[in-house]
Amino acid sequence: MTFINYASREINCKIVYYGCGLCGKTTNLQYIYDKTNPTAKGRLISLATETDRTLFFDFLPLELGTVRGFKTRFHLYTVPGQVFYDASRKLILKGVDGVIFVADSQVERMDANIESVDNLVINLKGQGYDLMSIPYVLQLNKRDLPNVATADELRRVLARKNEPVFEAVASKGIGVFETLKGVAKLVLSELTKAG
């Protein structure tokens, strides 16, 4: 649910990073935070446990610049990945404009990825959205680790539609901005349709 303010000429979009526990959602946000011009970003808020596992969400407001005279802001959220935080995950999807699914490329996390994508579909439906029509991209993270499945294999198992797929190493920043840009493009072009 994009918020368009004609009075102050601003447009705000909500992007959610989804994925199983420890797949690198917060790492994506942290990298974006570290690499963004201080004037363009707000504070990175992390509601995490003492061991740095996301408890509720991470939040990063990002100001990207102007499109057609409108100041464009993206609010980036992550969800807690662990299975038992499902109630929190549902809440964060409320009003979402675009979703990035972060997949852990390691072979032994394949089942967790599949479970998480299925969970995303269900929780989106709970908020009245359909994964098939919402702006959505897939990020294959942790490509630098030794025991990873091939990109083709991951794509075959995890892709739900013809979504853009990005390979990434979030801890080193590889593919992080490409992924964000990919979903931003889809969200903004959705606006050209919806009006």
Partner 1 sequence: MAAPDIVMYEEEFSQIKQIIAKLKLDANAKVVFLVDKNGQQIAAHGEIENLDTTSLASLTAGNVAATDGLARLIGEKEFSILFHEGERDNIHISIVAQRVILVVIFDERSSLGLVRLRVKKASTELADVFGRILSKVERERAVAGAAFESPFAEITDEDIDSLFSE
Stretch that binds partner 1, among 20-28, 107-115, 138-146, 186-194 (CB under 8 A): 186-194
Name which position in 127, 143, 160, 164 contacts partner 1 (CB under 8 A).
127
For partner 1, the closer CB: 43 or 52? 43
55 binds partner 1 (CB under 8 A): no
82 binds partner 1 (CB under 8 A): no
- Residue 96 and residue 16: Cα distance in Å, rounded? 7
Name which position in 101, 129, 136, 166 contacts partner 1 (CB under 8 A).
129
The b-or-e profile of 131-165 (16+ CB within 10 A means b, else e) is beebbbbbbbbbbeeeebbeeeebbeebeeeebbb
Torsion, Cα 118 119 123 129, to 10 degrees, reads -20
Q: Lay out the site mask for partner 1 across 25-44 (x = CB under 8 A, - = otherwise).
A: ------------x----xx-
Residue whose entry in the numeric block shows the structure tokens 């991951």 = 154
Q: Which two tokens stand for residue 23?
A: 């797949």
- Residue 108 and residue 91: Cα distance in Å, rounded? 29
User: Where along the sequence are the contacts to partner 1 (CB under 8 A)?
Assistant: 1-8, 11-12, 14, 37, 42-43, 45, 47, 56-57, 59, 61, 64-65, 67-70, 72, 75, 87-88, 90-92, 94-95, 127-129, 177, 181, 184-185, 188-189, 191-192, 194-195
